[in-house]
């Protein structure tokens, strides 16, 4: 084994790799941007080298800076983590040319699998079933349109260079095709500098099932079973699990054998994932599962595979990169129990999942499970990177127990004042349909009403808040009410401020107990993953984004990618005003009510800071 490794990544990812590398006695070196100077991964590494400003394009994505850091620290190897440069064949080659060990897939395999169309062609030749569709060279709009008509609607247009759920458009009918194609190509060239697309049949009741594969330099390749990542929002994974619900042994063997065949077709070395899409309208069947793409790197959701196999995949990566054989043969690998992972994001489900940035004044995780996180209390969720706070990973003997543990874990997360999706994850993991395994990629959208916590406190929150403001003697709450602000002298209800409104609550004898913390002078209660300021006094409470008076402020720094109104435009409630691109996401800013655009301070392509007045809507009189 080599003696040191430089990790070309950040946050949770760098920490994950440091953990295993240190256990194996390697010296760890990280690179970091100015925005990450105080991050845990910088402290935990043996050495840390600053490589520039916050913007990834000026730091984490600059190959020469990373290679310079490797030279300066005499690193023997480079681990790219996931994201950033992990699937960049040119970088892999530069690392090897510099005489360093590349802890990743061989550049030729990265290249072969890099473009979705070429990968599908290659897999088809290798006898792997691929999602039906058009993946040819003729990219003229009329030809693509004919291809889509021939496939039959609905179809999915995909950027061949796409990733992270970006550059995809579902088209339901031929009339919608031309516009969807143009918008997909626009997004593809802006995000990936490549506007080539492919067209796929849109699979109904789709399930995303992927297989973890591993190869070594001795020609061995194994699989470490499957994961199900069907719980998605906007084509991005939210909850992942292993194994896949409803997978029988024969289907598993067939699927995993195909995955190993796919890996062998590109002489794969290291960790990789073969992603499949399944038509699960009649359960999982081997003849209804098709190759979608290969990710030539370690995956965000690798911990669920580690949990069910008892293996450390980063250790496997290091050993394979050092020229060792795979630590286990296929026959030695077994599935034990069920694992689930939830991605805790700094985002606000109530506002269409807009990222929420700022300082994590209060951050508490439950204990008794694996938590992979890149931040700690007092840290910052910055606008520059992916807004993930942590991954919560549970492992239990059965799927039902695992779901219960995950729901409980997400329900006891405490974060303030940054908004999170914890309440949404809690509801999702505890949902009866989810527990029954009735899942597909449309699950979250279909059940959004019951999965997304309301903007008004639920009864459980009201009850918990009322109980918290009661002074004291819990055995006799009714007498203890004396002296409290209540609606009328003999009204038994309790007046409690939750967020910015007053609720009159009749206390039920049985209520869920919430945790309560005083942060910056405000009392915050935490229950079911939700966080609410409460108290007898009116809580000071900040509002962001669209405000009640019609001033639309930028919720975070970003770039304006579409301006849909002009000064003087009449708008209706919910009408799209602008689209902002920030933190890998497009965010639509909508009109809060019917009115007219009084002021417009937004230019296409302009970079804007946080809290800037972009649009002022005046109410119609």
Structure tokens at 191: 């995000």
Picked from Mg ion, ligand ADP, none, the partner binding residue 276 (CB below 5 to 8 A depending on kind) is none
309, 441, 463, 511: which one binds ligand ADP (CB under 6 A): 441
Give one DSSP letter per residue of 374-428, joined into a string.
S--TT-EE-TTS--EEEEEEEEESSHHHHHHHHHHHHHT-EEESS--SHHHHHHH
Of 235 and 285, which has the nearer Cβ to Mg ion?
Answer: 235
Size of the site for ligand ADP (CB under 6 A): 31
Q: Whose Cβ is closer to Mg ion: residue 87's or residue 497's?
A: 87
Q: By CB under 5 A, which span of 45-53, 275-283, 411-419, 452-460 interacts with Mg ion?
A: 275-283
Scan residues 294-313 and list those touching ligand ADP (CB under 6 A).
299-300
In sequence order, the 6+-apart residues with CB closer than 8 A to the CB of 489 are none
Q: In sequence order, which residues have a C-beta less than 8 Å from that of residue 410 and are 6 or more positions away?
A: 342, 344, 392, 422, 423, 425, 426, 429, 529
Q: Estimate the crossing angle of helix 116-125 against helix 107-114, to 10 degrees.
A: 100
Looking at the Cβ atoms of 44 and 275, the one nearer to Mg ion is 275
Where in 104-163 is the site for ligand ADP (CB under 6 A)? 131, 156, 158, 162-163
What is the spatial distance between Cα 541 and Cα 356, in angstroms, rounded to a whole number? 15
- How far is Cα 270 from Cα 318, in angstroms, rounded to an integer? 9
Measured CA distances, 40 to 14, 23, 50, 361, 362 (Å): 10, 17, 14, 16, 16
> In the window 379-418, what residues touch ligand ADP (CB under 6 A)?
385-386, 388
424 binds, among ligand ADP, Mg ion, none (CB under 5 to 8 A by kind): none
Q: CA 425 to CA 361: how far, in whole Å?
A: 21
> At its nearest, how many Å lie between ligand ADP and the CB of residue 427?
21
Q: How far is the CB of 275 from Mg ion (least distance, A)?
A: 5
Out of Mg ion, ligand ADP, none, what residue 82 binds, judged by CB under 5 to 8 A for its kind, is ligand ADP
Question: 273 or 587, CB closer to Mg ion?
Answer: 273
Residue 283 is given by DSSP the state B
Please name the helix (run of DSSP H) or strand (run of DSSP E) that holds residue 340, with its range, or none: strand 338-345
Active-site residue 297, yes or no?
yes
Q: In the bound complex, what is the minimum distance in angstroms from residue 179's beta carbon to Mg ion?
A: 25
Residue nearest to ligand ADP (CB): 83
Q: Does 82 bind ligand ADP (CB under 6 A)?
A: yes
> What minimum distance in Å lies between the beta carbon of 584 and ligand ADP?
6
User: End-to-end CA distance of the chain, in Å?
Assistant: 75
Minimum CB separation of residue 4 from ligand ADP in Å reads 24
Q: Which of 117, 200, 226, 228 binds ligand ADP (CB under 6 A)?
A: 200
- At 466, list the tokens: 């009322």
Bridge partners (DSSP) listed for residue 225 = none
Mask: binding to Mg ion, 225-264, rule CB under 5 A, as x and -? Answer: ----------------------------------------
- Omega before residue 481 within 30° of 0, cis: no
Instruction: Establish if 56 lies at the interface with ligand ADP (CB under 6 A).
Output: yes
Backbone angles phi, psi at 477, to 5 degrees: -60, -30
Dist CA 424 CA 452 (whole Å): 5
Does residue 564 contact residue 588 with C-beta atoms inside 8 Å? no
User: Which partner from the list ligand ADP, Mg ion, none does 237 bind, CB cut-off 5 to 8 Å by kind?
Assistant: ligand ADP
Applying CB under 5 A, what is the total number of residues that bind Mg ion? 1
- Active-site residue numbers? 297
| Binding footprint of Mg ion on the chain (CB under 5 A) | 275
| Binding footprint of ligand ADP on the chain (CB under 6 A) | 56, 82-84, 131, 156, 158, 162-165, 200-203, 206, 208, 232, 235, 237, 275, 277, 292-293, 299-300, 385-386, 388, 441, 584
């Amino acid at each position: 084994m080599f003696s040191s490794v430089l990790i070309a990544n950040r946050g949770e990812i760098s920490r994950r790799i440091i953990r295993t590398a240190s256990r194996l006695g390697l010296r760890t070196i990280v690179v970091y941007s100015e925005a990450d100077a105080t991050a845990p991964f910088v402290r935990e590494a043996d050495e840390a080298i600053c490589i520039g400003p916050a913007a990834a394009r000026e730091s984490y994505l600059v190959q020469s800076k990373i290679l310079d850091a490797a030279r300066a620290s005499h690193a023997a190897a480079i681990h790219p983590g996931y994201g950033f440069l992990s699937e960049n064949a040119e970088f892999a080659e530069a690392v090897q040319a510099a005489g360093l060990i590349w802890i990743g897939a061989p550049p030729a395999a990265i290249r072969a699998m890099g473009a979705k169309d070429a990968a599908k062609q290659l897999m088809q030749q290798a006898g792997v079933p691929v999602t039906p569709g058009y993946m040819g060279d003729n990219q003229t709009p009329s030809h693509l349109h004919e291809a889509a008509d021939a496939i039959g609607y609905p179809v999915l247009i995909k950027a061949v260079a796409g990733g992270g759920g970006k550059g995809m458009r579902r088209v339901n009918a031929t009339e919608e095709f031309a516009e969807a194609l143009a918008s997909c190509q626009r997004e593809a060239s802006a995000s990936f500098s490549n506007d080539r697309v492919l067209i796929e049949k849109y699979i109904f009741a789709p399930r995303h099932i992927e297989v973890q594969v591993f190869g070594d330099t001795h020609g061995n390749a194994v699989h470490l079973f499957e994961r199900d990542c069907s719980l998605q929002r906007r084509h991005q994974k939210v909850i992942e699990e292993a194994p896949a619900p409803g997978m029988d042994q024969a289907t598993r063997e067939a699927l995993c054998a195909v995955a190993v065949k796919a890996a062998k077709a590109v002489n794969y070395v290291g960790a990789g994932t073969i992603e499949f899409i399944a038509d699960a309208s009649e359960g999982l069947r081997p003849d209804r599962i098709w190759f979608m793409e290969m990710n030539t790197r370690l995956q965000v959701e690798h911990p669920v595979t580690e949990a069910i196999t008892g293996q450390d995949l980063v250790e496997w990566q290091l050993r394979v990169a050092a020229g060792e054989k795979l630590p286990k043969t296929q026959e030695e690998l077994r599935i034990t129990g069920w694992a689930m992972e939830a991605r805790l994001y700094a985002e606000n489900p109530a506002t269409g999942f807009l990222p929420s940035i700022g300082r994590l004044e209060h951050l508490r995780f439950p204990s008794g499970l694996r938590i992979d996180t890149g931040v700690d209390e007092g840290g910052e969720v910055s606008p520059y990177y992916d807004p993930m706070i942590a991954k919560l990973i549970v492992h239990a003997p059965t799927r039902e127990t695992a779901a219960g543990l995950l729901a409980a874990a997400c329900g006891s997360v405490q974060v303030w004042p940054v908004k999170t999706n914890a309440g949404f994850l809690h509801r999702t993991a505890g949902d009866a349909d989810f527990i029954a395994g009735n899942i597909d990629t449309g699950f979250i959208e279909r059940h959004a009403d019951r999965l997304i916590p309301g903007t008004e406190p639920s009864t459980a929150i009201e009850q918990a808040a009322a109980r918290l403001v009661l002074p004291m003697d819990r055995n006799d709450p009714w007498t203890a009410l004396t002296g409290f602000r209540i609606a009328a002298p003999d009204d038994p209800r309790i007046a409690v401020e939750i967020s910015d409104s007053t609720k009159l609550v009749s206390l039920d004898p049985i209520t869920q107990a919430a945790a309560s913390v005083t942060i910056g002078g405000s009392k915050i209660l935490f229950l079911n993953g939700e966080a609410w300021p409460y108290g007898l006094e009116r809580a000071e409470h900040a509002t962001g984004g669209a405000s009640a008076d019609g001033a639309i402020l930028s919720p975070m720094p970003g770039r304006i990618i579409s301006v849909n109104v002009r000064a003087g435009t009449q708008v209706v409630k919910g009408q799209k005003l602008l689209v902002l691109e920030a933190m890998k996401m497009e965010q639509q800013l909508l009109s809060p009510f019917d009115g007219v655009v009084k002021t417009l301070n937004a230019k296409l392509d302009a970079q804007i800071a946080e809290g800037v007045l972009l649009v002022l809507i005046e109410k119609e009189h």
